[in-house]
Amino acid sequence: MSADRRQELESLFHKHGYADFKWIDPQDIVVSQWVRMKCTFGCGEYGSNATCPPNVPSVEECRQFFGEYYTAAVFHFQKTVDKPESRHAWTREVNLKLLELEREVFLSGYHKAFLLFMDSCCICKKCAGERGECKRPKEARPAPEAMAVDVYATVRKYGFPIEVLTDYSEAMNRYAFLMVD
Ligand code: SF4
């Protein structure tokens, strides 16, 4: 992508209130089988969120998807919550706002624009649980983890902070990916 086009998009990101983002090479996105294993075993959302496994492409298909892009941006969000449940309202708000950006990037001529949410969908209070039953299918997007992205390894390549947290009093570092081209 030319420097001019990048600058145009950066102005758009700023217009939407985003300052904490970096351009990344999609080929640096680490896709790993272990991520899918963690979604399948050990995550309470398995089978109950229409944008999470098993309602997503296979790990190999995810790898192929990322291989089809030349340009992407990662957006960093930091937050501390009083109780774990408060995370969902914040996620919903962030994801809905990001969708507005995805749409504007698309309308700017980037027909491949595709957003990976900051966390699992959370648009509805209770998720339909199955892709075909999704209540807002035009808006629902998978999170990077649902697409088998090793978010830790990927964002660390670009100097972003991310650690395993042991207590909710610690600040969460979350990431959304916008596939652009
Ligand atoms: S839009 Fe609603 S039903 Fe669809 S994945 Fe998101 S939370 Fe689930």
Going by CA atoms, what residue is nearest to atom 4 of ligand 1? 134
Q: Which of 75, 79, 99 is nearest to 158 (CA)?
A: 75
User: Which two tokens mark 78?
Assistant: 């930091």
The pTM score is 0.96
Mean pLDDT over 41-51 rounds to: 95
Cβ pair 144, 121 in contact under 8 A: no
Going by CA atoms, what residue is nearest to atom 2 of ligand 1? 124
Mean pLDDT over 97-120 rounds to: 98
Q: Which helix (H) or strand (E) holds 21?
A: strand 21-24
Distance CA 99, CA 165 (A): 27
**What is the pLDDT, as a whole number, of residue 168?**
81
Going by CA atoms, what residue is nearest to atom 5 of ligand 1? 50
Distance CA 179, CA 158 (A): 16
Distance CA 121, CA 140 (A): 6
Mean pLDDT over 30-49 rounds to: 96
User: Cis peptide before 54, with omega less than 30 degrees from 0?
Assistant: yes
Question: How many Å lie between the centroid of ligand 1 and the Cα of residue 81?
Answer: 22
Give the chain's mean pLDDT.
Answer: 96
Q: Which of 39, 27, 34, 40 is nearest to 71 (CA)?
A: 27
Question: How many Å lie between the centroid of ligand 1 and the Cα of residue 127?
Answer: 5
Distance CA 40, CA 14 (A): 37
Looking from the CA of residue 139, the nearest atom of ligand 1 is: 1
pLDDT band for 81, please (50, 70, 90 cuts): confident
Mean pLDDT over 111-126 rounds to: 96
pLDDT band for 86, please (50, 70, 90 cuts): confident
User: Which two tokens mark 9?
Assistant: 């998009």
pLDDT band for 110, please (50, 70, 90 cuts): very high
Mean pLDDT over 120-147 rounds to: 96
Question: How many Å lie between the centroid of ligand 1 and the Cα of residue 18?
Answer: 24
Q: In sequence order, what E strands does 43-123 have?
A: 72-79, 114-116
Residue 84 has pLDDT above 90, yes or no: no
Question: Higher-confidence residue: 169 or 54?
Answer: 54
Least confident range of 9-18, 61-70, 86-95: 86-95
User: Which two tokens mark 30?
Assistant: 């680490």
Distance CA 60, CA 85 (A): 33
**What is the pLDDT, as a whole number, of residue 82?**
82
Q: Residue 129 region, left (φ>0) first, then alpha (ψ -120 to 50), else beta?
A: left
Mean pLDDT over 84-94 rounds to: 90
